[in-house]
Amino acid sequence: MAPLRFSANLSWLFPELPGLPERLRAAGRAGFEAAEVAWPYAEPPEALVQAARAAGLRLVLINTPPGDQEKGEMGLGAVPGRQAAFREGLEKAVLYAKTLGCPRIHLMAGRVPQGADGAAVRGEMETVFLENLRHAAGVLAQENLVGLLEPINTRVTDPCYFLDTPQQAAAILQKVGRPNLQLQMDIFHWQIMDGNLTGNIQEFLPIVGHVQVAQVPGRGEPGSPGELYFPYLFQLLEDQGYQGFVGCEYRPQGDTVEGLSWLRSYWDKRGHPSAGQ
């Protein structure tokens, strides 16, 4: 069984460093061969290509733009009345992904509008999401890119987020029925919403295109104290034949590099893989 391949999430790791180019360099020095970043849009894509190349890293995941964060937006994929803005954001994400050689884009669903009548608006939001995802699948297929849906927990992290369980995301993916749309499994969110990680990983892994990890409940390093035992979960992913990347999307509890002892010990045991597609 091949060892897992890890990706440094530079929206979260190395918070002590000011910009993405510096964080890319630090990730390369720490032994990573892949990186991901939620929103790279503050930097021109060419500058990021140069920084990634200099660091010996490839980018494996970015997100679609969040929308208007001052108005509380966190993604636009399922937000009624924001279809044009979603498509515009998608074009921007595709441009960055192509320039960066990044094969995956997380298509953010967004939040249920505040004060909205839950059931009625959720039905409308699913309709909007399905339309937007069909459009996105076509755009992404032309560029040989994969779109990802990530459920985000509504118990702790984002009470208004539209997409919050793997079951809901899988049902939407089934309705859209496009092979280049897949599931993004953030184990932190899945544990908080549903637990049953062994069963859910076994059930949903065939449609998972990217994994992310953090300890629960503190969202620290996998090696920090908490309710998840990552050696077991990593072994499970290996046993199930997972081929994608595992994104380190967590909040370092102290110095980022010191906090990577859990990953160094994994590499010591399993060997340091080379980053492929």
Query: What is the pLDDT, as a whole number, of residue 115?
Result: 79
- Reading the block at residue 85, the tokens are 């803005």
CATH number where 154 lies: 3.20.20.150
What is the domain range of residue 214? 5-270
Structural domain count of the chain: 1
Q: What are the pLDDT digits (tens) for 181-209?
A: 999 999 999 999 999 999 999 999 999 99
Question: 77 in a domain, yes or no?
Answer: yes
Question: 179 in a domain, yes or no?
Answer: yes
Query: What is the pLDDT, as a whole number, of residue 116?
Result: 74
Low-confidence ranges of the chain (pLDDT < 50): 275-277
- The pTM assigned to this predicted structure is 0.96
Question: 275 in a domain, yes or no?
Answer: no
Question: 277 in a domain, yes or no?
Answer: no
Question: 276 in a domain, yes or no?
Answer: no
Q: What are the pLDDT digits (tens) for 132-152?
A: 999 999 999 999 999 999 999
Q: Catalytic site residues?
A: 150, 249
User: According to DSSP H, which parts of 143-244 are helical?
Assistant: 166-176, 187-193, 197-204, 230-239
Question: 63 in a domain, yes or no?
Answer: yes
Question: 41 in a domain, yes or no?
Answer: yes
List of E strands, 120-180: 146-149
CA angle 133/139/142 to nearest 5° reads 135
Question: 129 in a domain, yes or no?
Answer: yes
- Reading the block at residue 211, the tokens are 């994994």
Query: What is the pLDDT, as a whole number, of residue 276?
Result: 47
